[in-house]
Structure 1
């Protein structure tokens, strides 16, 4: 066999190896969603799973968020009753309030009353449809149930802009690291709603979007025994 033939065969094997490598790269490359906007996330149920180690993005300082907070005009976060102490999985978790940046001891703030905790993110389509229904439910429930939203992405400024666009003014906390979701055992999908008993224990974790205030009221009645 001539040297030219041997070189040609070697070239063919090299090309075949390159094709195999390229095929493997394509097979494991992330698909779906806007990966540049939500790094480390994967699309599930129309949303992405939070996978960050930071509570909020470095650029989202209090000064930078002053304007978006004013535009969103959110309700203040719940505060602990005198002498209240957190219990259950949320005890000791402290996060920033979306309304004003103040620190909130979530477990203590929710202690003593049934609570609905809703996990969402600004890029989650089903969340955008669910939040107005949740807002309506909160007005209906009044003081019977504490409703708290939890933003699951580090980009707090984007959350405030989204809430202003939706016209939703619910109290909420910023949790880009997913500490509350981890504590209650929420699956890595959005939206998710956790129903918390007055004693701080978890009654239910519901990985589903709600379409109406009536659906939310039915879930609260079923799992918390509160008619609203």
Structure 2
């Protein structure tokens, strides 16, 4: 083997090792990374073993807030090109009780902050408590909804209990929300919608404080919430 070929092989080995090191796993182990594997269609919304009976205990312990109420009188058609139009008809299970919610209907009527996360995501562990503090500070003026981007719903509930976070959220192991709205394949991702349902900004950066989130959301909304 020539020196040049040996060097190329060595470089390839290093690249493969790095990929293996950061690739998230779908099992029980926690992985402190923020890169999602594959495409949205490769994973189910939730695992088969995450039945209502199996999730009853974790749901009770998590004691999450219920998902937002759908808008009272939804229009026959959402604004053309808006995020609400893109999400129209998409129903996902609410983490608090498993009921199906229509995403467009629960996000309509006021600005919304959608936080896409996963139980194994290390930056998410720091960001979610900050998001809780932000949500508490803005009250009903902004809809804050978490979206769990891994099929393991049980671990999502266990982690939220551990973090002391009771924000409303939905289970989306297949990554449909992020995919439809054009979010990058990393976690966490915060998606900001204006009150009219149009997409204001996609923030593919982790936040560590409520003030950081507030500043980013205010800027995305043009200084108004």
TM-score bracket for the superposition, by shorter chain length: 0.7 to 0.9
Which residue of the other structure, out of 64, 68, 71, is the alignment partner of 2:58?
A: 68
Q: How many aligned residue pairs are there?
A: 206
> Residue 185 of structure 2 aligns with which residue?
188
What's the C-alpha RMSD, in Å, of the aligned pairs? 2.7
Summarize the Cα distance change of 1:36–1:183 in structure 2 as closer, same or farther, 3 Å threshold.
closer
Q: State how 1:79-228 maps to structure 2 within 5 Å.
A: 79-85=69-75, 87-225=84-222
* Mapped partners of 1:108, 1:137: distance in 2: 23
Unaligned 5+ runs, structure 1: 1-20
Summarize deviations over 1:154-208 as a string: whole Å, max 9, x none.
0000000000000000000000000100111000000100001122211000000
* Mapped partners of 2:122, 2:16: distance in 1: 25
Normalising by structure 2, we get a TM-score of: 0.83
- Residue 47 (structure 1) shift: 1.6
Residue 46 of structure 1 pairs with residue 36 of structure 2: no
Please say if residues 50 and 177 of structure 1, whose CA atoms lie closer than 8 Å, have aligned partners that are also in contact: no
> Residue 13 of structure 1 aligns with which residue?
none
Summarize deviations over 1:68-100 as a string: whole Å, max 9, x none.
000000000012121124533222211000000
Partner SS for 2:101: strand
- Residue 34 (structure 1) shift: 6.4
Bigger radius of gyration, 1 or 2? 1
* Mapped partners of 1:27, 1:217: distance in 2: 38
* Mapped partners of 2:15, 2:208: distance in 1: 36
Normalising by structure 1, we get a TM-score of: 0.82
Unaligned 5+ runs, structure 2: 1-8, 79-83
